[in-house]
Chain A
Amino acid sequence: MNIRRFNWHIWAGFLLSIIAFVSYVLFFVNFPITRDVPWANLILFMIAAWLLFVGIRRAFAPDRSRLAKIGSSVLAVLGVVLIGFFIFMTFIMARWLPASEGAPRVGNRAPDFTLPDANGKTTSLAELLATPINVSSTAKPRGVLLVFYRGYW
């Protein structure tokens, strides 16, 4: 293949759309500033979309083969599907959460519970509220932060 004929725009656009997708889950999600609103990934997707657009225009030039037209179209469609799925995943699917109307509210007493800790030792909320934070002090903690995780590490 002649290097000048190689449609790098379409390939770069396709690869960048994959990178834009994967980099959110593997990297940008670790930082609140790029996680809460995925602007860094949306910028990458915009560049990817522009590359795909330029690639498609080049592939549909009169001197290009039918294979180039079909191949480029497939890559462009896959790239656009990735962009669409990313937006769906971060803006729509992520909001499918239960209403949790029965969750304790400000002013309610948090229901007590007893569960095993990471060493298998049974621990209750009442104990955590009563146990000094470190061995050198006898003061009770001022409170407890209770964090529920989705889990499945």
Chain B
Amino acid sequence: MAISVDGSEVNHDMLAKAGYTFTFLSDPNAEVIRRYDLLHAGAGASGQDISRPAEFLLDANGVVRWVNLTENYWVRARPEQILEASRLLQ
């Protein structure tokens, strides 16, 4: 599942356009983003507060088993990294 600061309608259109079916949550006031200490203040295109890119793999109990906090925002977790990490859940 994913989270960004965009509103539900923006996410709805984006998911439809991209053909994604995973859950996409909307955190317009960056409350959860702050709780996870991921706030990138003023980094939006017009100076809005947004999330830094981050990926967490949680097990069935909600415990973090793998984290990826990129050092360069052009570089994100690759699908094969996440598939590799998902072996930790078996």
User: Using a CB–CB distance below 8 Å, which chain A residues touch chain B?
Assistant: 29, 32, 35-36, 38, 90, 94-98, 100-113, 115-120, 123, 125-126, 128-129, 140-153
Contacts and interface: CB of A to CB of B under 8 A. Distances in A.
Q: Tell me the dominant secondary structure on chain A's binding face.
A: loop
B43 A150 contact: yes
A106 B64 contact: yes
Contacts, number: 189
14 contacts: A90-B74, A95-B72, A98-B41, A105-B64, A111-B32, A116-B8, A117-B25, A118-B24, A119-B8, A119-B12, A143-B60, A149-B4, A150-B40, A150-B51
By Cβ-Cβ distance, the 9 closest A-B pairs, closest first, are A151-B4, A102-B37, A115-B25, A149-B4, A118-B11, A118-B12, A146-B56, A148-B51, A113-B32
Interface of B: 1-6, 8, 10-12, 14-15, 23-27, 31-33, 35-41, 43-45, 48, 50-67, 69-76, 78, 82, 86, 89-90
Q: Tell me the dominant secondary structure on chain B's binding face.
A: mixed
B3 A117 contact: no
Given A126-B62, A142-B90, A150 B56 contact: no
Contacts of B4: 148-152
B35 to A, nearest CB: 5
A118 B13 CA distance: 8
A133 to B, nearest CB: 10
